[in-house]
Structure 1
Amino acid sequence: MPLSLCERHPAVPVDRLVAEMVPPPRFEGARFTTYLPDPAQPSQSAAVRALEGFAASVAAAPRPAAGGSGNGGGVLRRLLRRGPAAPTGPRGVYLDGGYGVGKTHLLASLWHAVPGPKAFGTFVELTNLVGALGFQQAIRALAGHRLLCIDEFELDDPGDTVLVSTLLDRLVAEGVFLAATSNTLPGKLGEGRFAAADFLREIQGLSAHFHTLRIDGEDYRHRGLPEAPAPLPDAAVTAAAGRLPGAALDDFPALLEHLTKVHPSRYGALLDGVEAVCLRGVRAVPDQATALRLVVLADRMYDRELPVVASGVPFDQVFSEEMLRGGYRKKYLRAVSRLVALARDGAASGV
């Protein structure tokens, strides 16, 4: 009997949120030596060399004091009262490039190359962690780390801008090194999403923490690969769910509705024990909020390498042309790229 994601209501304890700040299963084996630069894109090889040097610098630096400010006193109280000490220069590296050029692979390789304690998470997971722990406790949880890696760095609203700017200021002052990936240059974060000019000080402060490495290239998932497989009939998807071990079977519209009832920080837990995702009736998403939830779910499925078998419209049609022209264009293109890759995996499973 297939599983149903719509019947799951996961509860995730806070300590799990902290403990799971590691690269996702897809990137457990990621190393600089396993990254395959495109010979036509010299910036990719240059990025590997720069990150190897950065990893050596992080490893050689004194480790920040464990727990940062201890039990809410000392340095933390001084920082919250007077603000962080001004850093002498960028303490982070920022990987900028289009989707599918291997930025997450390189970020995970950096994480593996640096001794702990260290943390790795997407931007959404980081903001969810702060929401779960509270600001001061989040600082204490992360301040003793050598390195914080932030994947898919984006600022979608003014609250995130102020929150993350302040958080990273504090962590840099505590001695934490930073690394991030994004499809947007740090000085351009928030453009097209809200009145970024009103938060220019915070955005410029974020940018000052990073040295930017540009990584050019085309989406590796599309290099010489076929187009997205054609969707199957509903009956074939149902039959595939019965044959694939650990498969979840859901109607796409019902799943989108269910996602409104599950916090995005729990989408990973929603997929616990799932080995394949079967979806009937894939269709274009109706609005921006639904689309952004689907992006997070697609990221979590991709992290876990879950093949997808689906009926309905192809995944390159789930976001409207209007959405693809808007401020979240790069998020949606990344989601399409990943969903198509997972659909190929589903087709390769022999269903």
Structure 2
Amino acid sequence: MTFVDAMRKIYRPLGFSKGYNFPLFVIFAGAMLGFSLARLQYLNVAGDASTSYKNGARPGEWYIMRGGHYRIGITLHLATVIPGGILSVFQFVPVIRKKLILFHRINGYLIIILFLLGNVGALMIARRAFGGGFATQSAVGLLALTTTISLFLAYYNIKRLQIDQHRVWMLRAMFLFGTIITTRIIMIIAALILTKIGDYYELVSCAEIAFARSVSTADAAFLQDYPVCRIAAYTAVTASMSATPGVETVGAALAIPFGAAIWMSIFLHLVSLEIYLQLTPREGQRLRQLSYEKQLARGFKHPGSAGLTSDRWGDADPWVPLTAEKRVEEAEVPSIASSDSAAS
């Protein structure tokens, strides 16, 4: 048995018809599922367990998030995006979309609600999360705006039975939500680089440093390390993953590159998704043909273009549905999508 035959026995029962889609699903959906499952322990926001958000967040972060609207924001954010990330994986399993249509619809509505609420929570904490730098605030704002718009357009298009555009906008939303995973990877790498360079500093409140060390601001060892705190409320903390002289240096090392890491992740995810969409036009054409048939059966005006399509809202040429003969001809054209068949 060849490798391709073995892989087919795995992905065909899940509904995947093209060999290239399954590894992409495993990589991206697997990353989302793994990250969300690993963060399930954070649903215990304020618990004393070592796995709670309180004890697992960036050193010093709980000082800010432990009260006020920040506590509400982080609780709302974690309680929605973690289950939303897990549930979103099921939306991209073809066999569920085809055979469990009711589950796909209900799950889709639930995901939209969860992620929208998650955006509200993210905006509530953006001012202070990971240091709350302006780069962080602007990136969080952009993510909240673009994902909200993407979810709205995905919802509108599916209500108009414009399945091809629903696919495009849901992919954009999910890829943008996945930036948090790439952000963590870039942030950790950058923090290690900053530690190696050795002359990066973060302005941190003395109260937050003392809180991270579990001491008072009058502690002798604390004041020896940060004498400025005798007369000022803020002091410079060296960015270092070595936790010397205390854990606050790790917090600084993670906070400094966080904003840049988000922006880099947004860029990488947007570009990679658009490349994928440009390389899979036949899937878009197939779904548009399916949209045409469903819209025609429902008596929609402009079947095939009842949703937000470029031929109605832009200057694209009018879309023409494929005839039965043309669909057969299209199906017989070899492409990279069928390379798994040729490989066997």
* TM-score, reference length from structure 1: 0.26
Q: Which has the higher contact order (CA 8 A, sep 6+)?
A: 1
* TM-score, reference length from structure 2: 0.26
Please tell me whether Structure 1 or Structure 2 has the larger radius of gyration of its CA atoms: 2
